[in-house]
Amino acid sequence: MSNTEKEDGSMNSTATPATGTRTTSLGNVATASAAARARSEQPVGSGLEARNVHAWFGKYHAISDMSLDFPTGTVTALIGPSGCGKSTFLRTLNRMHEFIPGAAMAGEVLLHGKDIYAPGTDVTKIRLKIGMVFQKPNPFPSMTIGENVLAGIKLAQLKVTNKNDLMEECLERAGLWNEVKDRLNQPGGSLSGGQQQRLCIARSLAVRPEVLLMDEPCSALDPGSTLKIEETISELAKTMTIIIVTHNMQQAARVSDYTAFLLSDGGPGQIVEFAPTREIFTRPKDKRTENYVTGRFG
């Protein structure tokens, strides 16, 4: 569209083409800063990797040159003030950004080393592998609780042998089974907000994604539900890659292995600092990060 020039420009600035010829151990990947790694031509990780991602809304440049690595089995928290582009970045990672009229992007998002924006990619398969939980609980109103959990199976036309087992497993993992096992036939909207959010998590799990993007999943929840979802996240992280946007510093500290601090000073949002979570919270390298995590920000 109107951003083709920009796109070309940033393609050129990408350090290396995504050839899958380089190898490394997961351990290496997990300890290095992703941004630094991308620049130093380190090999492709087995998880999800964003390289020099930009995003626009029409003419408005919302995020600029974001490079992050999300190795399999880790939880990464994205923190930063409101409007700095956390949701926008998250939505470029499973190609939800493109639904906004006038949206454009540049850069690469690699899943197992393959660019999800490459021509000929089956975008529905991408979204199947990279699931998303939204800030506002959005169960399907025309479906029952049970149907909501299995909605993805129907929507993506997947085959499962035992639907009831899958339903129970997903609700169990989302920490909701005990509360709803006797009312699976009631409409999804009959649950409380926190229960609805866990229902949405269960719904995302049913299609067995490899990566789960969560945009402030607990912002409308009570401490009890929040705790349950955090436990769920820790449990899920054993087998999946999780990227969570949160405004809650304690939450980021509790659930995540890595934390990225995003900031927009007037211009487009950028990554200020990316490091293991403990470092971000105990000895941040950037003054702005320190101000933000200690609550002394603007």
Partner 1 sequence: MTPVTAVSPIKPWRPTRRDYIVQCGILVGSFLASYLVIENTGFAGRLPLVIFFGIFAITSLAILSGMKRGKEAAKDAVMAGAAYTGIFALLLPVASILWTVTSRGTAAIYSGFFTTDMSQDPFSSTLDVGGIKHALIGTIWLIVIALIISVPLGILTALYLTEIKGPGSALIRFLVQAMSGIPSIVAGLFIYSALISGTGRGFSGFMGALALSILMIPTVARTAEEVLKLVPPDLREAGLALGATQWKTVALVVIPAAKSGLVTAVILGVARIAGETAPLLFTTGGADDTNLNPFDGNMGSIPFYIWKALIDGSPEAASRAWAGIFILMLAVLALFALARFLSRAKIVK
Which does residue 248 bind out of Mg ion, partner 1, ligand ATP, none, counting CB within 5 to 8 angstroms by kind?
none
Q: Is 96 in the site for partner 1 (CB under 8 A)?
A: yes
Binding piece for Mg ion, criterion CB under 5 A, among 85-93, 220-228, 272-280, 289-297 = 85-93
**In a 10 Å sphere around its CB, with 0-12 CB exposed, 13-18 middle and 19+ buried, how is residue 288 labelled?**
middle
Binding residue (CB under 5 A) for Mg ion from 10, 87, 241, 277:
87
User: Closest CB to Mg ion belongs to which residue?
Assistant: 87
DSSP code of residue 239 = T
Q: Is 94 in the site for Mg ion (CB under 5 A)?
A: no
Distance CA(200)–CA(134), nearest Å, equals: 8
Distance CA(17)–CA(4), nearest Å, equals: 19
Residue ranges in 188-227 that form contacts with partner 1 under rule CB under 8 A: 200, 203-204, 207
Distance CA(150)–CA(201), nearest Å, equals: 12
The site for partner 1, by CB under 8 A, has a size of: 32
Contact predicate 113/69, CB 8 Å? no
Contact predicate 220/247, CB 8 Å? no
Please, what is the minimum distance in Å from the beta carbon of residue 256 to partner 1? 22
The number of angstroms, rounded, from the C-alpha of 109 to the middle of its chain's C-alpha atoms is: 12
Binding residue (CB under 6 A) for ligand ATP from 2, 83, 124, 239:
83
**Based on CB atoms, which residue is closest to Mg ion, 188 or 269?**
269
Binding residue (CB under 8 A) for partner 1 from 119, 141, 224, 267:
141
Distance CA(234)–CA(118), nearest Å, equals: 32
Distance CA(179)–CA(220), nearest Å, equals: 19
Among residues 252, 258, 202, which one has the least CA distance to residue 45?
258
Among residues 69, 63, 12, which one has the least CA distance to residue 35?
69
Distance CA(139)–CA(195), nearest Å, equals: 10
Binding piece for partner 1, criterion CB under 8 A, among 67-75, 77-85, 147-155, 264-272 = 147-155
Q: Is 99 in the site for ligand ATP (CB under 6 A)?
A: no
Torsion of CA 205, 207, 210, 214, to 10 degrees: -50
- The three-class DSSP label of residue 47 is coil
Please, what is the minimum distance in Å from the beta carbon of residue 216 to Mg ion? 6
Distance CA(191)–CA(199), nearest Å, equals: 9
x-or-dash pattern for ligand ATP, window 267-286, by CB under 6 A?
--------------------
Q: Is 87 in the site for ligand ATP (CB under 6 A)?
A: yes
Binding residue (CB under 8 A) for partner 1 from 44, 75, 104, 128:
128
Helix (H) and strand (E) counts in the chain: 14, 10
Residue ranges in 30-69 that form contacts with ligand ATP under rule CB under 6 A: 57, 60, 62
Which does residue 83 bind out of partner 1, ligand ATP, Mg ion, none, counting CB within 5 to 8 angstroms by kind?
ligand ATP
Q: Is 134 in the site for partner 1 (CB under 8 A)?
A: yes
Residues that bind Mg ion (CB under 5 A): 87
Residues that bind ligand ATP (CB under 6 A): 57, 60, 62, 82-88, 100
Residues that bind partner 1 (CB under 8 A): 94, 96, 99, 101, 124-129, 131-132, 134, 136, 138, 140-144, 151-152, 154-157, 185, 187, 200, 203-204, 207
